[in-house]
Amino acid sequence: MKITKKFLSYGLIALLVMSPFISYASSEVEHAASSGHSDPIAPVLFGLIIILLAAKVGGELFEKMNQPAVLGELIFGIMIGNLALLSGGAFSFSYLVEAEAIDIMARLGVMILLFQVGLESNIKDMMKVGISSFLVAIVGVVVPMVLGYYVSSWIIPEAGFNAHLFIGATLTATSVGITARVLKDLDKLRTPEAKIILGAAVIDDVLGLIILSIVSGIVISGTVSATSIVTISLTSVVFLIGSILIGLKAAPLIGKWVSGMKVEGMKIVTAFLFLFVMSYMADLMGLATIVGAFAAGLVLDDVSFKNKKEHHIEVLVKPLYCIFVPIFFVLMGIQVKLDAFLDPKIIIIALGITAVSIIGKQACGLGVKCPGASKLTVGIGMISRGEVGLIFAGIGKELGVLDDSLFGAIVIMVILTTLVTPPLLKWSIARKDKAVESV
Amino acid sequence: MKITKKFLSYGLIALLVMSPFISYASSEVEHAASSGHSDPIAPVLFGLIIILLAAKVGGELFEKMNQPAVLGELIFGIMIGNLALLSGGAFSFSYLVEAEAIDIMARLGVMILLFQVGLESNIKDMMKVGISSFLVAIVGVVVPMVLGYYVSSWIIPEAGFNAHLFIGATLTATSVGITARVLKDLDKLRTPEAKIILGAAVIDDVLGLIILSIVSGIVISGTVSATSIVTISLTSVVFLIGSILIGLKAAPLIGKWVSGMKVEGMKIVTAFLFLFVMSYMADLMGLATIVGAFAAGLVLDDVSFKNKKEHHIEVLVKPLYCIFVPIFFVLMGIQVKLDAFLDPKIIIIALGITAVSIIGKQACGLGVKCPGASKLTVGIGMISRGEVGLIFAGIGKELGVLDDSLFGAIVIMVILTTLVTPPLLKWSIARKDKAVESV
């Protein structure tokens, strides 16, 4: 209770302090935009100023309360996104979400996050927990899918077979972004639980995208051929394993080639070219770009750039991480529309699938075959649906399977699972650390 | 001749090596875009891959030939931008220029460049050459303006008073980007010539924008009031001096405040918030964002962030510099349309105003009152018109004063002054270094 009060008072003070600036600048932006002589980057700069201020004020408040900074970024994002609602329509920031350049920077942010996670991971260590990761991923896909289908057909039987199927599919994908960020903030990326979760999330992403392709196929054609299921599945697996194998061979050669270069900044530019090419390739194969970003980080981890004059690659990536990653999390918060919560029917559906999505992923603990790894932490680490859930919901809406209220319910599920993950994860890790200490 | 041959063969090899990849990826992008399931960042990633590859291959080639890397970035940019012409219409990259996100990243790049130049400059050192900078700036604005007006009315008398006035105005603004980059590449930013040029370019930018506002006023209303001239002039000068004075007071307080923070990456995020706020403020005042970026760098140079755990601010900015600055220069190259050179009339106008713009800025040497500083180097350093010239030309076209061929001629002038600056500057600096050695 004390923390909630403290948070509320801090948040209100921050909003009060920020609002005159926001109000003044907001009207100035409109003025500058209408006068036409302004640099096109001006509204983007304004958006970046608000987003980075929110990220750092929110992050700092939550760190002071011993909560992960990412939660502060999300909640300050929600406050900014709903300023129109909170201020009685006096201010609005909807154009922050609509600005293409800021959206692209947020996507770059989540890529850099997964790249950094890949850099800090190690393929050999991940192999050791490979079987656990695989079992965790399979359980984490099948159980929520089945539960989601039945809960949907129980609460809203009128929505029909396709909608139940799609809601089930939406519950399969794990969003590794939030969990990875919390584990990184707590400096726990090298624990067995972290390796299992990250490995499972990648396999999960591949499995989820296969299911999405198959479900979309059923919805569009009314049927799906065995050939296309096999093709989709094979492409994904071959890409991921193939790119890692080729990357492991290519990386030392690239490192050697770069070391002979005279021009400045070759190391960071080569690393980012690697990141961009791998992410782009993943997208071409129909996978999420973040799968490619993670693979790029995994592979580059083992590169020994010969250029000793420059800093270590993780030192070079960090400033880009600090600027771009918070943009992604604040923007995720901004996209939350609190007015959706005013409809009681949406709340019932949302709470139902949220409960199922949390319980469903707890079955993942059954897949953990690693002695000493906490089944609870792994189950909790798999809860967050984040941006992958939002992508699924968006496609469902596009295909006409999900109406606005079902889409709203899924968005709420994504938010709740995302909000619930950091504190639960923090609690379960502290619990295990305590248990280890008392032994 | 040997260098030209070597460059041509290197360039051809690079284009040949790149073309199958470009061709394949280009068709894939269209495919992915049409299938609709692709991440919106995919085409941006593709653009960034091509731009960064061109920047580093071009930069490396020119460094190997002892030329500034920036010239390689520009020329490889021109090759990419005219691939449709060079390949007989087989490939085209026009969408690279049209992508909003890449354009914004390029603008961010030039801001980061001026911010970095500001960080490496020192206000006290700049004060010492202040009188020279001011005289250089005044001469560099008045002489090219008058010469431009007369050359224009001599070659194309039919274009009319407004066009002559606008062409004259276009010749006033110095683009500090190219010169700063060359001086930085040569490690000559701390010489008196560099300080005079950078100081003069900033004053020039302010003077140029005042002239642009006045000339636009004359074109729009047919007349301009003394009050508005005074208002525009005062705003600019007050902003620049005021923001530097306030910044100098505020920076240590901000540094102290940041040092008490727990959250990660506060230093780089605070520096970028400072950069964004100052650039945004400059834009609100009707100045170029890069003026604010330069002022932000100047001010932050003297901040002593207390957070000793993190790297020095210049180390933190460098990775962002290495990724974003080349995007600006490659994109400037991409925007050059070689087909404009096919019209002989455009070539005559272009060569006429180019000659005047180069000769006009040589008068700047007369303003150098600093013993030991090379008048020739200062005059050459002021030649480049770069992005400021392009902004002027764009506004002239918007107002209907410049038709397509005059606009084309100004673009060619901007390109030629930009291409000619790096090798001339390099030559004059080497000449002075030699003269000093022989004494």
Structure tokens at B435: 């003269």
For a pLDDT cut of 90, what percent of chain A falls above it?
A: 8
Of A38, A273, A286, the CB nearest to B49: A273
The pLDDT confidence band at residue A373, using thresholds 50, 70 and 90, is confident
More confidently predicted of B148 and A236: B148
Contact criterion met (CB < 8 Å) for A45 and B103: no
Structure tokens at B149: 């007006």
Is-contact A66 B133, C-beta < 8 A? no
Following CA atoms A358, A362, A368, A372 in sequence, which dihedral angle do they give, to the nearest 10 degrees?
Answer: 100
Of A111, A265, A322, the CB nearest to B318: A265
Q: Which residues of B touch A108 (CB under 8 A)?
A: 41
What digits encode the pLDDT tens for the residues B77-111?
Answer: 888 888 777 777 666 766 666 678 898 998 899 88
In angstroms, the separation between the Cα of residue B367 and the nearest Cα of chain A is: 32
pLDDT score for A112: 93
Q: Which residues of A touch B270 (CB under 8 A)?
A: 56
Q: A with B: how many residue pairs have Cβ under 8 Å apart?
A: 167
Contacts of A100 (CB under 8 A, 6+ apart): B100, B101
The conformation of residue B340, written as its DSSP 8-state character, comes to G
Q: Which residues of B touch A273 (CB under 8 A)?
A: 49, 52-53, 56
Of B25, B103, B322, the CB nearest to A265: B322
When computed from its CA atoms, the radius of gyration of chain A, rounded to whole angstroms, is 22
Question: Which backbone phi and psi does B406 adopt, to 5 degrees?
Answer: -65, -40
- Domain boundary assignment for chain B: 2-98, 105-438
User: Going by CATH, does the domain composed of A105-438 fall within 3.40.50.720?
Assistant: no
What digits encode the pLDDT tens for the residues B9-58?
Answer: 444 444 444 544 444 444 444 444 334 446 788 889 999 999 999 999 98
pLDDT score for B409: 82
The conformation of residue B224, written as its DSSP 8-state character, comes to -
Contact criterion met (CB < 8 Å) for A42 and B283: yes
How far apart (Å, rounded) are the C-alpha atoms in residues B37 and B422?
A: 45
Average pLDDT of chain A to the nearest whole number: 77
What digits encode the pLDDT tens for the residues A18-35?
Answer: 444 444 444 444 443 334
What digits encode the pLDDT tens for the residues B180-233?
Answer: 878 887 888 888 888 888 888 777 766 776 777 677 667 766 665 667 667 666
More confidently predicted of B310 and A400: A400
What digits encode the pLDDT tens for the residues B418-433?
Answer: 778 888 888 888 887 7
pLDDT score for B262: 66
Compute the average pLDDT of residues A234-253.
76
In angstroms, the separation between the Cα of residue A371 and the nearest Cα of chain B is: 33
Q: Which residues of A touch B232 (CB under 8 A)?
A: none
Report how far apart, in Å, the C-alpha atoms of A195 and of each of A109, A136, A433, B286 are: 22, 12, 17, 52
Residue A324 predicted with pLDDT over 90: yes
pLDDT score for B343: 75
How far apart (Å, rounded) are the C-alpha atoms in residues A395 and A388?
A: 11
Contact criterion met (CB < 8 Å) for A323 and B261: no
Q: Which residues of A touch B283 (CB under 8 A)?
A: 32, 38-39, 41-42, 45
For chain B, what's the residue count?
439
In angstroms, the separation between the Cα of residue A431 and the nearest Cα of chain B is: 24
Element (H, E) at B393: helix B386-398
Measuring CA to CA, which residue among B330, B321, B247, B317 is closest to residue B282?
Answer: B247
What digits encode the pLDDT tens for the residues B60-79?
Answer: 888 787 667 777 887 888 88
B196, amino acid identity: I
Contacts of B291 (CB under 8 A, 6+ apart): B202, B205, B206, B240, B282
How far apart (Å, rounded) are the C-alpha atoms in residues B417 and A309?
A: 35
Contact criterion met (CB < 8 Å) for B269 and A56: yes
The pLDDT confidence band at residue A3, using thresholds 50, 70 and 90, is very low
Is-contact A138 B139, C-beta < 8 A? no
State which residue of chain B sits closest to A278, comparing Cα positions: B45
Of A108, A269, A323, the CB nearest to B52: A269
Residue A297 predicted with pLDDT over 90: no
Q: Which residues of B touch A100 (CB under 8 A)?
A: 100-101
What digits encode the pLDDT tens for the residues A199-211?
Answer: 887 777 667 767 7
Is-contact A361 A383, C-beta < 8 A? yes
Following CA atoms B309, B310, B311, B314 in sequence, which dihedral angle do they give, to the nearest 10 degrees?
Answer: -140
In angstroms, the separation between the Cα of residue A121 and the nearest Cα of chain B is: 20
Q: Which residues of A touch B395 (CB under 8 A)?
A: 37
What digits encode the pLDDT tens for the residues A413-438?
Answer: 887 887 788 888 888 888 877 777 77
The conformation of residue B56, written as its DSSP 8-state character, comes to H
Q: How would DSSP label each residue in A69-133?
A: HHHHHHHHHHHHHTHHHHTTTS---HHHHH-HHHHHHHHHHHHHHHHHHHHHS-HHHHHHTHHHH
Q: Is A97 exposed, middle or buried (0-12, 13-18, 19+ CB in 10 A)?
A: middle
Contact criterion met (CB < 8 Å) for A107 and B40: yes
For a pLDDT cut of 90, what percent of chain B falls above it?
A: 8
Q: Is the entire prediction scored with pTM above 0.80?
A: no
pLDDT score for B415: 76
What digits encode the pLDDT tens for the residues A103-155?
Answer: 899 889 989 988 887 787 766 666 676 788 888 888 888 899 899 999 888 88
ipTM value greater than 0.85: no
SS3 label, residue B409: helix
Contacts of A207 (CB under 8 A, 6+ apart): A137, A138, A141, A172
Structure tokens at A5: 């009060």
pLDDT score for A298: 79
State which residue of chain A sits closest to B313, comparing Cα positions: A319
More confidently predicted of A244 and A327: A327
**Which residue in A182, A322, A390, A392 has the most chain B C-beta atoms within 10 A of its own C-beta, making it the best mutation to test that interface?**
A322
How far apart (Å, rounded) are the C-alpha atoms in residues B6 and B15?
A: 14
State which residue of chain B sits closest to A280, comparing Cα positions: B42
More confidently predicted of B31 and B327: B327
Give the distance, in angstroms, between the CA of residue B63 and the centroid of all CA atoms in the same chain: 20
Following CA atoms A210, A211, A215, A217 in sequence, which dihedral angle do they give, to the nearest 10 degrees?
Answer: 10
In angstroms, the separation between the Cα of residue B316 and the nearest Cα of chain A is: 6
Question: Which backbone phi and psi does B407 adopt, to 5 degrees?
Answer: -60, -45
Is-contact B67 B185, C-beta < 8 A? no
Residue B159 predicted with pLDDT over 50: yes
How far apart (Å, rounded) are the C-alpha atoms in residues B118 and A264?
A: 19
